[in-house]
Amino acid sequence: MTGKPDRKIILEDGSEYYGHSFGSDEEKILEIVFNTSVVGYQEILSDPSYTDQAVVMTYPLIGNYGMAAADYETLQPSIGALVVHEYNDEPSNFRSEKTLGEVMKRFGIAGISGLDTRKLNRSIRDVGSRKALLTAASTTLEEGISKLKSFEMPRDAVSRVSSHSMWESEGTDVEFHVVAIDCGMKRNIVRSLVKRGCRVTVVPWDTDAEHILDLNPDGVFISNGPGDPTDVPETIETIRKLIGKCPIFGICLGHQIISLAYGAKTYKLKFGHRGGNHPVKDLETGKIEITSQNHSYAVDEKSLSGTKLKATHINILDNTIEGVSCAEDRVFSVQYHPESAPGPQDSAHLFDRFIRMMKENRTEGAKIHA
C-alpha cells in the first residue's frame, strides 16, 4: 500500500507508529499484544478471547488467502483491531468468500498496515502489553497520551461475548451429555466434543450450579474467554459448587477459573502467550507437545500448595503452569488450546481423556447403584 499514512498507533510511552487503514477506521483504545502464528488469521480474528485487544501479527503478510465461512470461531467477532506489516486485499484461494478487510469493516474491527511490526513487537516483548490508541494520523501526540491516561480498560468482556441463552449441538451416535459454560467459547471446541459422541448444551457464563446439575450432565466443560479470570466470580463460584459432582474439563480461561475455584491464585504475564508454536511438557509422560495459546494470565505455581490440584504441564519457554488436575474429583484443565484450528493438533487427545473420564464416572456410578 502506498501513499501518505492515514492512521497511527500511539503508546503510553509516547512512541508512534504510522500506517494505512483497512477494515474499520474508528478510533479505539485497546490492549496491544502480539501473536506469533504463521497462519490462522481468520481464527485469530474470530476468537472471542481477543476482545478489547489490538493483535500485532509477527508474520508479515496477512490477508492473502481471504476469509471462508467455515473457519470462523464465533459468528460475531469481537477482537478490537488487527495490526499487520503487509495487508493483501486480493486473496488467492478457492475457498475465499470475502476479503479480510471486508469482514473487519462489517464487524467494526479496526486495521492498520504498513508499519514496522518488528519494532512494535520488540517493544511489547521488552516493555509488556499495554494500552494503545488507534487513531487518525492527524491526532497529536499530546491528545493521544491524554486519552490513554484517562481511559480505564473494561472488565466485563466475558459477559459481552458469552451466549445470552442456552443452546444445543449434537451429532450422530450420542453417548454423553456435556454442559459447556460459555465464557467466550471457540466453535471448534463444540465440534471437537460433538464428533466424539457428545450432545453439548451451551449455557451462559453466569449460569449457576443448580441449573447446570438440573440438566443432568455426564460432564461439565468450561471454556476459554477474554480478560482477567477474577472478573468472573460468579463462574468461579459455580465451578466450586460443581467440584465432585461430575467430571470437569477446562481450557484457557476455564483452566484459570478451575484453579481459582480450588483456592489457587492467578497473575498477569508481561506479554502473555499467543501463537501456534508454544512447547508444553506433560509432567507425567515427559512428552513435549507443540500447542496453540492465547492468554494474558497464568496460575501461580506456589499457590497450588495446599489445594487438591497438582501441576500436570509446564511451558518449556518460561516454566509457567500449563495444566492442573485433581484425580479424586475427576477435574483437569489446560492453559492451551487442544481444539486449535488450524493447528497444531498435538493435544487433541485431551478431549478423548475427558470422554474416558465421563465413561469411568458413569461406570462407577452404575456400580454404586447396583
Residue 36's identity, in one-letter code, is: T
> Is residue 315 a part of any domain in this protein?
yes
Task: Mark whether 123 and 172 lie in a shared domain.
Answer: no
For residue 50, being part of any structural domain is answered with yes
Percent of the chain past pLDDT 70, that is, above it, reads 98
Residues 218 and 314 in one domain: yes
Both 198 and 326 in one domain: the answer is yes
Can you tell me the distance from the alpha carbon of 95 to that of 32, in angstroms, rounded to the nearest whole number? 30
C-alpha cell, 57: 501479527
**Residue range 118-141: average pLDDT?**
97
Same domain, 63 and 182: no
18 contacts 115 by C-beta, under 8 angstroms: yes
**pLDDT at residue 343, as a whole number:** 81
Residue 98 sits in which domain range?
A: 7-153
Same domain assignment for residues 149 and 164: no
Query: What does the pLDDT average to over 52-77?
Result: 96
Tell me the pLDDT band of 366, cut-offs 50, 70 and 90. low
Mean pLDDT of the chain: 96
Write the secondary structure of 90-128 as one string of H (helix), E (strand) and C (coil). CCCCCCCCECHHHHHHHCCCEEEECCCHHHHHHHHHHHC
Residues 107 and 172 grouped into a single domain: no
Q: Clarify whether residues 290 and 183 are in a common domain.
A: yes
pLDDT band at 369 (very low <50, low <70, confident <90, very high): very low
Q: Three cell numbers at 77?
A: 467477532
Helices 233-242 and 253-261 cross at an angle (nearest 10°) of 60
Nearest to 21 by CA among 112, 115, 110: 112
CATH of the domain at 33: 3.50.30.20
Last residue of a domain, one of 106, 132, 153: 153
Kindly state the average pLDDT of the residues 255-276.
98
Mean pLDDT over residues 96-109, rounded?
A: 97
Domain boundary among 127, 153, 179: 153
In a domain, 175, yes or no: yes
- pLDDT tens string 161-208: 999 999 999 888 999 999 999 999 999 999 999 999 999 999 999 999
pLDDT at 368: 45
Grid-cell match 450420542, residue found: 174
- pLDDT computed for residue 341 by the predictor: 82
Percentages helix, strand, coil for the chain (3-state, rounded to 5) are 30, 35, 40
Asked whether the predicted pLDDT for residue 2 surpasses 70, the reply is no
Q: Is residue 317 part of a domain?
A: yes
Residue 342 has what pLDDT?
Answer: 83
Residues labelled as active-site residues: 252, 337, 339
Asked if residue 2 is part of any domain, the answer here is no
Q: Count the residues in the chain.
A: 370
Neighbours of 154 (CB within 10 A): 13
The helix/strand/coil state of 309 is: coil
Mean pLDDT of 59-68: 97
Interval 143-166 mean pLDDT: 97
Name the residue among 240, 170, 235 with its Cα closest to residue 204.
235
Continuous H helices in 215-342? 233-242, 253-261
| 1 located within any domain | no
- Whether 337 is covered by a domain: the verdict is yes
- Assess whether 52 and 200 both reside in one domain: no
Percent of the chain with pLDDT over 90: 95
**In terms of domains, do 189 and 101 share one?**
no
Spatial contact of 226 and 158, defined as CB atoms under 8 Å apart: yes
What gap in Å lies between CA 211 and CA 157, rounded to an integer?
A: 23
CA distance 47 to 256: 18
Asked if pLDDT for residue 1 goes beyond 80, the answer is: no
Q: Confirm if 297 and 228 have CB atoms less than 8 A apart.
A: yes
Largest CA distance in the chain: 77
Total domains in the chain come to 2
112 and 167 belong to one structural domain: no
The domain boundary, picked from 153, 171, 203, lies at: 153
Domain CATH for 323 = 3.40.50.880
Q: Which residues does 45 contact at the CB level (< 8 Å), separation at least 6?
A: 77, 79, 82, 100, 103, 104, 109
Residue 204 lies in a domain: yes
- Same-domain check for residues 121 and 190: no
Task: Report the C-alpha gap between 349 and 223 in whole angstroms.
Answer: 17
> Are both 235 and 321 inside the same structural domain?
yes
What is the chain's Cα-based Rg? 21
